Structure 1
Amino acid sequence: MLERRVNLDGRAATADVPRITVGGLRMAALDLEATADFMIEATDPRHRIGRPLHLTSANGEVLARCSTEPETERLFRGADLINADGQPLVAASKLQSWFPLPERVATTDLFHVVARKAEAVGRTFYMFGASEAENAAAVENVRTMYPNLKIVGHSHGYLRGEALRAKVEEINALAPDYLWVALGVPNEQAFVEQYTPLLTNVGVIKTSGGLFNFLSGSRSRAPQWMQKFGLEWAWRTWLEPRRLFWRYLTTNPRALYLLFSRKRPSNR
């Protein structure tokens, strides 16, 4: 696979993580708790690799876009680790492999598990992305939920040119263990690729999609039963029909095709 050839240092750092190919992308076969433990371990000074590890997530929409957008596919294949943020991916893996994905690892859930662990061991966060109001509200709520969590800085994601470069240099100087980047696909993956060389003091970069909207309270999660049956997309479409109806109408069928047609054996 392409990502195994170009990310040799990342491959070494994630060598012990089991993976399975689902819908054309190699996914980490870790549950939520194990993923958080990996992230905590990755920021231990003894395990740093001289650049931040890049963790991202894929759902059905991402699979569909990777199959039709070569640049998006390239960016995702450049990640050090990809988590499955979609229940249909988990279900498909159980039909295709003796070693399936154990569960969905939604970034919205993962954030809280990592925050609790980071709070206990003194790891630091930087939260970058979303609008200024959304970002500020998300940070305020996180500080309320985790009063002992060290958030060394935060910024909205609407920066360009020299202002963005200056912000990246500021983030690197603050040296957060975790940089949560919420710019949307594929902008956040492109950000990681472009600025990783300038973020050598950062431990892990986790791309986060709409995470800050949930943390701020402006967007609500689907009911648990809908999440369990992979229907969170329907909940989101009901909340934002104008923005999401056409997106899911075009990507969902393709994602299902990819999930059940690209049956490749697990690499482990």
Structure 2
Amino acid sequence: MIDTVNILGIPFSKLTMHETVELLSEHIRQEQPKLFHLITANPEIAIVRQTDKLLQTIIAEADLITPDGAGIVMASKRKGDPVPERVTGYDLLLRLLEQGNDRKWSFYFLGTDETTSLAAVENIQTRYPQVVVAGRHNGFFSGDEELSILQEMKQSKPDVLVIAMGAPYTDKWIYRNKRELDGVKLVFGVGGSLDVISGKVKPAPAIWKAMNLEWLHRLLTVPVAKGQKSRWRRQSALPKFFYRAVIRK
């Protein structure tokens, strides 16, 4: 049983990054394991969950939820039951790609725009030449294209399915299509990670990371894609989270 801490109804894993990677690696190495649905949840997701019934169900049925945000770490300390560190989608993806390069795992990449998707996969193939790219598709597709994508996943049976279509849409898509993902061993959302890997978005400088201000760096520097909510509106969840999870017991 994995030790967790409950923050606003979400059981956050208390595993370190290294322990999380080891757990996922062990699952991938198993013969014919069931689909493992990992969620990397931040304060915004914690707030959305309060009123989103479907998201509550998805979180309750997820296999593991990691603390993707300094606010989660702060809230756990406030409860007196701290998580050891953040386990973010971006860092987790890089660690799994490193493992996959050593063990020749296969990955399928779904999400972001076409140009960014192509560039991200090209960079991944350059940096991790032993990783098998089972397939890729941008995150803008019709119902018929979705059926084709799911069929491709069934045939290729990737060890890891990486989805970059934004939260909570990504996890709702996974939940809706779980039965169609037969053969996939691990699936998780990575937010804007493919944008960074492609070079479209610059990663936050080390000093911003050290101060746990990556969210502010994104807010000030990353443009919002057409059709997405204003990043300022999305970050309005932070003060709500801070009050509910940190100030108020």
Q: TM-score when scaled to structure 2?
A: 0.91
1:62 match: 45
1:27 is matched with: 12
Provide the C-alpha distance between the structure 2 equivalents of 1:29 and 1:179, rounded to a whole number of angstroms.
23
- For residues 41-56 of structure 1, the aligned pairs below 5 Å read 41-46=26-31, 48-49=33-34, 52-56=35-39
Q: Return the alpha-carbon distance in structure 1 between the equivalents of residues 232 and 124 of structure 2.
A: 31
Counterpart of 1:258 in structure 2 is 244
What is the aligned partner in structure 1 of residue 227 from structure 2?
A: none
In structure 1, the gaps of 5 or more residues are: 1-15, 264-268
Query: Are residues 1:133 and 2:120 paired?
Result: no
* Partner AA of 1:36 in structure 2: V
Instruction: Report matched runs for 1:1-268 at 5 Å.
Output: 16-46=1-31, 48-49=33-34, 52-98=35-81, 100-240=82-222, 243-248=230-235, 250-260=236-246, 263=249
In the alignment, the residues of structure 2 paired with residue 134 and residue 19 of structure 1 have an alpha-carbon distance, to the nearest angstrom, of 35
Take 2:50 and 2:127, find their aligned partners in 1: how far apart are those partners? 39
For these two proteins, the number of residue pairs brought into alignment is 244
The one-letter amino acid of 2:83's match is: L
RMSD of aligned Cα (Å): 1.8
Please give the secondary structure, in 2, of the residue aligned with 1:43. Answer: helix
Structure 2 CA distance for partners of 1:225 and 1:240, relative to 1, 3 Å:
same
Give 1:246 deviation, angstroms.
Answer: 2.6
Higher relative contact order (CA 8 A, sep 6+): 1
SS at match of 2:177: helix
8 Å CA contact 2:111, 2:140 repeated in 1 = yes
**Unaligned stretches of 5+ residues in structure 2:** 225-229
Report the CA distance between 1:76 and its aligned residue: 2.8
Q: How has the CA–CA distance of structure 1 residues 61 and 240 changed in structure 2, closer, same or farther, with 3 Å as cutoff?
A: same
**CA separation of 1:210 and 1:176: change in aligned 2, threshold 3 A:** same
| Deviation by residue 1:105-143 (Cα, 9 ceiling, x = unmatched) | 111111111111111122211111111111111101111
How far has the Cα of 1:58 moved from its partner?
Answer: 0.8
Q: Aligned partners of 1:234, 1:241: CA distance in 2, in Å? A: 13
Q: 1:94 is aligned with what amino acid?
A: K
Return the letter of the residue paired with 2:12: M
Question: Is the Cα–Cα contact under 8 Å of residues 160 and 184 in structure 2 kept in the other structure?
Answer: yes
CA contact (8 A) 1:56 1:82 kept: yes
Distance 1:151 1:241 in 2: 28
Query: Residue 55 of structure 1 aligns to a residue in which SS?
Result: strand
State the Cα deviation string for residues 216-268 of structure 1 (Å, max 9, x = none): 111122222322333212111111477312321x21111112322675xxxxx
Letter in 1 for 2:174: V
Q: Is the 8 A contact 1:41 1:47 kept in 2?
A: no
Contact 2:160 2:187 in 1 (8 A): yes
Deviation at 1:47, TM superposition (A): 6.7
Q: Note the C-alpha offset of 1:208.
A: 1.5
In the alignment, the residues of structure 2 paired with residue 159 and residue 77 of structure 1 have an alpha-carbon distance, to the nearest angstrom, of 28
Q: CA deviation at 1:19?
A: 1.2
